[in-house]
Copies of this chain bind each other. A is one copy, B any other.
Amino acid sequence: MHDPETEPKADGDAALIKIGDFARRAGTNLRTLRYYEELGLVLPAARSAGGLRYYRAAELDRMAMIAGLQRLGLELVQIRGLLATREPGASREESMARVRHALSEQGELIDQRLAELTAQRRRVDEALAKLGECDACSHHPAVGNNFCHPCQLDGRPLPADLSALF
């Protein structure tokens, strides 16, 4: 019935792991974890008498969420706000609502970024297609011919992105 992986230890916590192991499993390093502790973003569950940090393995999910939100452009202090621990006096309903709010906010951020990236991807493809047409031409886009704007071949200009590369 009991999974040894989640076997509680001492005061009901799941197994605690040291900072090096935690860092490796979170795909980060010691400095980052100490900085997150300084910010109050990810705290070790305990410290040994000698000062060693001991982390809950469950906090690895928190680390993954932080990394995801960071890639979306959020600052660590903002992330700390989104992942705020439950308010002391909050009801179950309030807590659930806060979590739901944080998740839908993250969903919206992802959607925005997806839209940006999709447009960017399309522009790159258009630029590559236009570059293919240039194979049939002998001009070299440069400042001198205003980056082939307009194109001597079909009158249509090079995409703006392309002129940035010359």
Contacts and interface: CB of A to CB of B under 8 A. Distances in A.
Interface stretch (A17-25, A28-36, A123-131): A123-131
A134 interface: yes
Interface in A101-152: 102-104, 106-107, 110-111, 113-114, 116-118, 120-121, 124-125, 127-128, 131, 134-135, 138, 140, 142-144, 146-147, 149
Nearest to A73: B71
A38 interface: no
Chain A interface residue count: which class? 35 or more
Contacts of A142: 86
B131 A65 contact: no
Contacts of A116: 71
Contact of A121 (B59, B110, B121, B166): B110
Tell me what chain A mostly uses at the interface: helix, strand, loop, or mixed: helix
Count of identical protomers in the assembly = 2
A55 B68 CA distance: 37
A106 B83 contact: no
A95 interface: yes
Contact of A120 (B61, B68, B125): B68
Contact of A160 (B61, B117, B118, B146): B61
B164 A65 contact: yes
B107 A140 contact: no
A159 B58 CA distance: 12
Contacts of A127: 103
